[in-house]
């Protein structure tokens, strides 16, 4: 059995990665690894509250490995914190770290470079699955998520808070990736085959911060 730690963003791609890994009999999932903005107690970019993140981990029945990051956070501090958590993983006999990346080669190369000195194997279960096909498979497979963050430079802010469903895919502009892999949007997962039970998400306010429209859930 390969012991695997999953990089967890609170969104649909990491959730679907969890689903696929669980179907692999050669893999033992040992935890969800998440960076958290210490100033606001939220997942960076996705804007997911810590309370929702903890509810996701409980529903996934996996321990949460939280890496606290200051705000603002330099790349040097980020890499130092990640080096520390990788050392912990090695000490706990973990073999690999899995990521929900889809096709951005520079992101994958960065992860591979950072993990190489640690001996931890990087895994990319969703890599190069066509994103339209992947999005439809997620929805058909029972994954439920809402758009928690929208980059208003790439997508109208009115998409914030919407359900990630077939209607959303149909309404996305043609140039928008169906999974938002270029940062057009981020999601917060609340149900799916990777969870023991659905989360009850209460919608809150929708606010614009620095060109990003955030939909709050609790």
pTM: 0.96
Instruction: Please say if the pLDDT value at position 149 is more than 90.
Output: yes
The stretch 22-51 carries a mean pLDDT of 92
Cis bond upstream, residue 72 (ω within 30): yes
**The pLDDT of residue 44 is above 90:** no
Greater model confidence, 97 or 73: 97
Which of 3.40.50.1980, 3.40.50.720, 3.90.226.10, 3.40.50.620 would CATH assign to domain 2-123? 3.40.50.620
The band of 71, judged by pLDDT with boundaries at 50, 70 and 90, is: confident
pLDDT above 90 for 63: yes
**Bridge partners for 201 per DSSP:** none
Sequential DSSP letters for 139-172: HHTT-EEEEEEEETTTS-GGGTT-B-SHHHHHHS
Mean pLDDT over the full length of the chain: 95
47: pLDDT strictly greater than 90: no
Is 96 in a helix, a strand, or coil?
strand
Where does the chain hold its CATH 3.40.50.620 domain(s)?
A: 2-123
How far apart are alpha carbons 7 and 14 in whole angstroms? 7
Share of the chain above pLDDT 90, in %: 89
């Amino acid at each position: 059995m390969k012991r695997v730690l999953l990089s967890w963003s609170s969104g649909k791609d990491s959730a679907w990665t969890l689903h696929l890994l669980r179907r692999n009999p050669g893999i033992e999932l040992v935890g969800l690894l998440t960076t958290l903005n210490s100033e606001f107690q939220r997942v960076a970019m996705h804007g997911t509250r810590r309370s929702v993140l903890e509810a996701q981990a409980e529903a996934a029945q996996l321990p949460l490995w939280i890496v606290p990051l200051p705000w603002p956070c330099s790349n040097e501090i980020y890499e130092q914190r990640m080096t520390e958590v990788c050392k912990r993983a090695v000490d706990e006999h973990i073999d690999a770290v899995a990521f929900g990346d889809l096709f951005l080669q520079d992101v994958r190369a960065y992860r591979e470079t950072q993990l190489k000195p640690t001996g931890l194997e990087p895994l990319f279960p969703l890599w190069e699955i066509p994103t339209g096909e992947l999005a439809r498979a997620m929805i058909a497979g029972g994954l439920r998520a809402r758009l928690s963050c929208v980059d208003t430079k790439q997508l109208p802010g009115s998409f914030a808070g919407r359900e990630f469903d077939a209607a959303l895919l149909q309404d996305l502009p043609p140039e928008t990736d169906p999974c938002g892999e270029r940062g057009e949007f981020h999601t917060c997962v609340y149900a799916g085959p990777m969870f023991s039970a659905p989360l009850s998400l209460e919608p809150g306010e929708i606010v614009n911060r620095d060109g990003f429209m955030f939909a709050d859930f609790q």
